[in-house]
Amino acid sequence: MCIVPSALLVVDVQKDFCPGGALAVPDGDRVVPALNRYIADAVASGWAVYASRDWHPPVTGHFQAYGGQWPVHCVQGSDGARFHPDLQLPLAAIVISKGQAPDRPGYSALEGVTPDGRLLLDDLRDRGIDHLYIGGLATDYCVRASVVDARRAGLHVTVLGDAIAGVEVNPGDSARALQEMAEAGARLLTGPVRPSPESAAARRAPAD
């Protein structure tokens, strides 16, 4: 039997978070080629690939019109909620939808559910996955929240430093988010190192 302890989580690489979108992350689409390489390696390694998406109802306290912080974005079924067209998700990718509750922002993918309504964490546990490699958008919101929650849930987490980008509402938000993720025990991969089977095995040190 093949034990697959790791998975790739691609966070919110949706049109609305990319240039031209309703809540564009500056240069947000630059994460796409890097993520495509990680996706290809994950597939080659037999890893599960999860792709989270913001999936808001039209009326939510998350939007400025209803007292929240953000312009309308990633409304369920809208064009802006689609994944970036160049993102090469495998057919077997597991889509995690989050942000459906009108009273919660739903930043963390760990609040999200699979297409059959199961929490991401339950799906990970059922597959025996204890290490997530995380990239996507945005460093200072959904990536940060997902990484910190995954660490709280006891998972090993590696942040793909070349495959994340931040909103930077305040300059330095992404750097502070990275610091918070590190303090939560996540590892930051800074170079374009890819999770090949060998390098992944090397990174799963006993102290990990």
Region from 84-92, 109-117, 134-142, 176-184 binding ligand VGL, contact rule CB under 6 A: 134-142
Residue 171: CB minimum distance to ligand VGL, A: 16
12 catalytic? Reply is yes
Per the listing, tokens 């939560």 go with: 184
Distance CA(184)–CA(182), nearest Å, equals 5
Which among 170, 194, 199, 207 has a CA at the least distance from the CA of 69? Answer: 170
> Could you confirm whether 142 is annotated as catalytic?
yes
List the one residue from 6, 8, 9, 12 that touches ligand VGL (CB under 6 A): 12
At residue 81, φ and ψ (nearest 5 deg) are -85, -10
Residue in 38, 63, 70, 133 binding ligand VGL, rule: CB under 6 A: 70
Q: Which of residues 146-185 bind ligand VGL (CB under 6 A)?
A: 167
Q: Interface residues for ligand VGL in 33-62 (CB under 6 A)?
A: 54
Q: Which stretch binds ligand VGL (CB under 6 A): 83-91, 136-144, 170-178, 198-206?
A: 136-144
Q: How many residues bind ligand VGL (CB under 6 A)?
A: 10
**162: three-class secondary structure by DSSP:** strand
Strand locations in 37-147, DSSP E? 48-54, 94-98, 131-137
Phi, psi (degrees; rounded to nearest 5) at 59: -115, 115
Q: Does 142 bind ligand VGL (CB under 6 A)?
A: yes
| Sole window of 27-35, 88-96, 133-141, 184-192 interacting with ligand VGL (rule: CB under 6 A) | 133-141
Residue 133: HSE in the Cβ half-sphere, 13 Å Cα cutoff: 31
Is the separation of the CB atoms in 18 and 28 below 8 Å? yes
Scanning 14-108, the segments in alpha helix (DSSP H) are 31-44
Return the number of the residue (70 or 133) whose C-beta is nearest ligand VGL. Answer: 70
Tell me which residues are annotated as active site. Answer: 12, 98, 142
Binding site for ligand VGL (CB under 6 A): 12, 17, 23, 54, 70, 137-138, 141-142, 167
